[in-house]
Amino acid sequence: MSDRLPMQELADAGQSVWLDYIRRDLMETGELDAMIDAGLRGMTSNPSIFEKAIGGSDLYDEAIATLLAERPDATAVEIFESLAIDDIRAACDAFARVYEETSGADGFVSLEVAPDLAHDTETTISEAKRLWAAVDRPNLMIKVPATPEGLPAITELIASGVNVNVTLIFSLAHYEAVANAFIAGIEQNAAPHEVASVASVFISRIDSAVDKLLDEEGSGAALALRGEIAVANCKVVYALSEELFGDDFEAIWGRGVRPQRPLWASTSTKDPDYSDVKYVEELVGEGTVNTVPPATLDAFEDHGVATPGAVAEGLAEARSAIAALSGLGVDLDAVCDELRAKGVTAFVDAFDGMLSAIDEKKARLLGA
């Protein structure tokens, strides 16, 4: 039996592994505790994950029936929120030991504001604060999308002491705007050392979209860039994060203020021609987080290699690859803006699908 602990190897390289998945049985069976023992350092959720967990299983039927027995007029949104808050609290409690061991640097669990608020700044702020108070755990992170309307919400929430996981970041421009929104919030926070944030950069969707355009262009130069751009994009993001949150940041803010960490999201490989651990192995970096779905985590634990500093290597080549796109007729910024818009739509659709599934369960359980 191997003594290898892949998640610990990543931790030794300065990177935290978070699980991009949540389901009630993880907490109830002790499976999550075992993963934490093996080195897991956090967890993320989103509407798609909850849609599969609640709508795609009967794990929540008993809890729904109990809630309906007390409140038969409860709406699907109210039922979802009750279930989600219970799950998020349980996960936060499981990660409390990580949070305490790291003095609040890790051990976070993320809960997203309703995705249909992505273009509503004020309601995003009020809903994020409401959820923060409802869950009432210091290692909670509220997920807010990196839309133009989300940026002032990020600043206000950070200023108010709410931990924020900024989601749906695709381009370098998206990332820079988010980092500046975080810094603006820190400037307004009387106790900035008590707040934490991550900037979630989505990865595999970029390669899927760009590869399609490169295939259409068809030249040798275009095809040579297939599968290179998403990682290259992360490398330039990481370089900027080092500039913004390096030693100067600590010197300016002191007081234990934590930099906003880049988080690599959407790390499951979509193209079967690529390694199933591509977006883990090539993105190892000090001060980063990689949130991985279960299948990708299993693959990395089976055959992944943790190379310290991998994401910081080949920066010049990464910039050259991105620069070459424009000569091939590919506008990366436009692609990323479209991906962000599609990401919002996909989460809204997943949220609506989950509410429909809850309504069906409600009708069935009340009928029974």
- State pLDDT tens for residues 74-126: 999 999 999 999 999 999 999 999 999 999 999 999 999 999 999 999 999 99
- As a whole number of angstroms, the distance between CA 351 and CA 100 comes to 33
pLDDT at 42: 98
Looking at residue 368, what is its pLDDT?
63
| Residue 230, in any domain of the structure | no
Query: For residue range 184-237, what is the model confidence (pLDDT) as tens digits?
Result: 999 999 999 999 999 999 999 999 999 999 999 999 999 999 999 999 999 999
- The CATH number of whichever domain residue 38 belongs to comes to 3.20.20.70
What is the DSSP-derived secondary structure letter of residue 163? Answer: -
| 40-44, 174-178, 189-193: segment of lowest average pLDDT | 189-193
- 287 residue type, one letter: G
Q: What are the backbone angles phi and psi of residue 169, rounded to the nearest 5°?
A: -95, 130
Q: Which two tokens stand for residue 56?
A: 């795609």
Domain of residue 189: give its range: 6-204+258-311+341-367
Residue whose C-alpha is closest to residue 119's, from 343, 350, 352 = 343
Place of tokens 């390694």: 275
Residue 1 confidence (pLDDT) above 50: no
Cα–Cα nearest to 186, from 247, 254, 232, 134: 254
Asked if residue 252 belongs to a domain, the reply is: no
| Ramachandran class of 287: left when φ > 0, alpha when ψ lies in -120 to 50, beta otherwise | left
Kindly state the average pLDDT of the residues 48-64.
91
Tell me which residue has tokens 């499951």: 268
Q: Per-residue pLDDT averaged across 39-57, rounded?
A: 92
Average pLDDT in the 301-318 region?
Answer: 97
Give strand pairing partners of 289.
16, 263
Other Cβ atoms within 10 Å of 333 Cβ, number:
14
* Average per-residue pLDDT for the chain: 95
For residue 265, what pLDDT is reported?
Answer: 98
Mean pLDDT of 59-88: 95
Tell me the percentage of the chain whose pLDDT exceeds 70: 98
> Mapping DSSP to helix (H, G, I), strand (E, B) and coil, where does residue 176 land?
helix
DSSP structural state of residue 114:
P
Domain assignment of residue 284, yes or no: yes
Cα–Cα distances (Å) from 314 to 88, 125, 205, 235, in that order, read 38, 39, 22, 8
Determine the length of the chain.
368
35 CB neighbour count, 10 Å cutoff: 19
User: What distance in Å separates the CA atoms of residue 75 and residue 62, rounded to the nearest whole number?
Assistant: 16
* Non-local CB neighbours of 65 within 8 Å, separated by 6+ positions: 365
| Count of domains forming the chain | 1
Closest CA to 222 of 326, 293, 146: 326
Specify if 334 maps to a domain: no
In a domain, 48, yes or no: yes
Q: Return d(Cα 47, Cα 36) in angstroms, integer.
A: 23
Radius of gyration of the chain (CA): 20
Please report whether residue 330 resides in a domain: no
Among residues 167, 176, 178, the alpha carbon closest in space to that of 201 is found at 167
* Cβ(149)–Cβ(118) below 8 Å: yes
Which residues are the active-site residues?
143
254-263 mean pLDDT? 87
Q: What is the pLDDT of residues 130-160, one digit of tens each?
A: 999 999 999 999 999 999 999 999 999 999 9
pLDDT of residue 139: 98
The end-to-end CA distance of the chain, in Å, is 49
Instruction: Indicate the SS3 state at residue 199.
Output: strand
Q: Is residue 273 part of a domain?
A: yes
pLDDT of residue 3: 64
What pLDDT is stored for residue 231 in this prediction? 98
